[in-house]
Amino acid sequence: MLQSGDIISGMYQVIREIGTGGMGVIYIGYHLHLQKQIVIKKIKETCVDRVNVRGEADILKQLRHTYLPQVYDFLEVGNDVYTVMDYIPGENLQYYIDHNYTFPEETILLWMRELCEVLDYLHTRKPRILHSDIKPANIMVTPEGDICLIDFNISLDGSVTQEVQGLSRRYASPEQFRCAMDKMYGRKSSETLDERMDIYSLGGGLLPNDERVSA
């Protein structure tokens, strides 16, 4: 477990833990060279063998888009694995849902256009990037009022990672669930996972129910 003040690889200083997820523990940190806040994500030991973290980090470091965080580094320190990326200020959509916020229709449409734009960018990379876990907790709303799609340690690219890593109830597509059930019961899955699963999740991730939109 990282502690406040710890320095990783002589460059990234831990400030504090800010959350945990299915795949890792997330810390706010400080980039000592760039002199800016960052996010350090420690991949849980039980999950390291489930993802090709180096392959994904190498792909994600090449991405440049307004609505994506910049991935800076991939680190293996002893038996620990970390990714380092931009710190995105603001709250995620799950926060606003939990606190019963409503938003004007034009704001929802703006966010939908931004998310469609970033998905089009990801899906047309070579190799393509499939996020596979689009949900409110992975959609940040920045202080400027734009969105940022986060949490790519479970992304698929069709050649690096072949298994489903993200599976969030209410947001995952039916084919993701069928593929997961096949894997759970040791069956060979005939499901094809492609861009459509992200598009399916986008509808539920941004508009979990009609009560969240007010004209």
Specify the higher pLDDT residue, 107 or 133. Answer: 107
CA gap 82, 192 in Å, rounded = 30
Which helix (H) or strand (E) is 52 found in, with range? Answer: none
Round to whole Å and give the CA distance between 160 and 149: 21
Enumerate the domain spans of the chain: 7-86, 91-214
Share of the chain above pLDDT 90, in %: 45
Q: In the annotation, is 120 catalytic?
A: no
CATH architecture of 91-214: Orthogonal Bundle (1.10)
Select which of 133, 151, 157, 198 is catalytic.
133
pLDDT classification of 212: cutoffs 50, 70, 90: very low
Q: Which residues contact 134 (CB under 8 A, 6 or more apart)?
A: 115, 149, 171, 198, 201, 202, 205
pLDDT at residue 158 in the model: 46
**Mean of pLDDT over the chain:** 82
Tokens 């096949």 label which residue? Answer: 182
pTM of the model: 0.81
Q: Residue 155: what are its φ and ψ, rounded to 5°?
A: -70, 155
Superfamily for domain range 7-86: Phosphorylase Kinase; domain 1 (3.30.200.20)
The string of pLDDT tens digits covering residues 125-162 is 988 888 888 999 999 999 999 999 998 655 555 444 44
